Amino acid sequence: MRLTAKITMLIAVLAVSACTNANRFDNGAVDLNAATGNAGGILPGSASDPRSPAYFQQTVGDRVLFAVDQSSLSPEARATLDGQVQWLLTNSDYNAVIEGHADEQGTRAYNLALGARRANAVMEYLVAQGIPSNRLRFVSFGKERPIELCSEEACYAKNRRAVTIISAGLTG
């Protein structure tokens, strides 16, 4: 995820305006046409630009966590998602892909299905709060892409997640 942020910033600094593969699930694919505008001293696209995906990721909060083998949203998760809703409503040029993940305690196929449940729980919440479903997609990575590597609950807790990845809007 940190890598995605770096890439986003780098692209913004270079002010390259190529519209990359809007229809594909490229995590870092950001339509920079949408990130321009009156920034008033704020570097457009940087984490300090409230309209930037980097801001969404770092300040709004791009992820929610889940209990073991669960896909229900905690109050804390809902608060984060409410922030995501506000951002997505304000920045209607962006779409989002929600990635669901599981920790390593489980078999591969089940964890794929469990990750899908988690991503879908997020997607349904965002849609219920007014984000058009055609701006959202989801995918599960099961236990294939942990961000924390230890085999302890401290790591597992961070790996049981759904991450909302901002992508270029189809209209970019």
The binder of another protein chosen from 114, 126, 162, 165 (CB under 8 A): 114
Query: Which C-beta is closer to another protein: that of 50 or that of 106?
Result: 106
* Stretch binding another protein (CB under 8 A), from 31-39, 59-67, 79-87, 105-113: 105-113
Between residue 50 and residue 89, which ones bind another protein under the rule CB under 8 A? 71
Query: Which C-beta is closer to another protein: that of 15 or that of 153?
Result: 153
What phi-psi label fits residue 162: left (phi over 0), alpha (psi between -120 and 50 degrees) or beta? beta
**Angle of the 108-128 helix axis to the 75-90 helix axis, nearest 10:** 60
Give 3-state DSSP helix, strand, coil % of the chain, rounded to 5: 40, 15, 45
Answer for the pair 123, 138: CB distance below 8 angstroms, yes or no. Answer: yes
Q: Contact residues for another protein (CB under 8 A)?
A: 24-26, 71, 104-110, 112-114, 116-117, 120-121, 124, 137, 139-141, 144-147, 149-151
